[in-house]
Amino acid sequence: MKQLIQFMQRYTLSCEKATLLMEMANAQQLAPWQKLQLAFHKGMCNMCTDYHKDSIRIDDELSSLARSKKPSQSPRHEWTDKDKEALIQQINDNACDHGPIKNHPTDI
């Protein structure tokens, strides 16, 4: 019994660790013993099996999203002629002495 507990402690994974290994498995980054651990865990845990299916579907959909995305679907922010002229002015003012270009505060 003690040996069984030791075996379980050594080779069984928590669901958190198992789901982490699933992400690595999706990218074929698992060592053979990790594959075994994961297969053993999935054999016992339906919730993790569901997670793995969902995870693969999300990966597939994100890849499909990237393929279907058109350049025209640009974000709502615009780069205006005013931005261009301000940048030209900054280059003319600052680039000659190679000084730093004044930064805008970043978005939060």
Partner 1 sequence: MSTAPSDHAIDKVLNQWVRDYSEDLFHVALSQTRQADLSRDLVQACFLSAYKGYDGFRQESTAKTWLISILNRGILDHYRELSRKPSSQHMPQAAVDKALSSLTDMGAWDMNAEVNQRKTLSLDHGHLEECMSQLPDLWHFAITERLLKERKSSEICQELGITASNYWQIIHRAKMALRNCLKQQGIQ
Q: Contact positions toward partner 1, by CB under 8 A?
A: 14-17, 19-20, 23-24, 27, 29, 45, 47-48, 51, 54-55, 57-59, 61-63, 65-66, 68, 74-75, 77, 79, 83-84, 87-88, 90-92, 94-96, 98, 100-101, 103-107
* Chain-centre distance for alpha carbon 17: 17
Q: How far is the CB of 36 from partner 1 (least distance, A)?
A: 19
- CB of 49 vs partner 1, minimal distance in Å: 11
H or E segment and range at residue 24 = helix 15-26
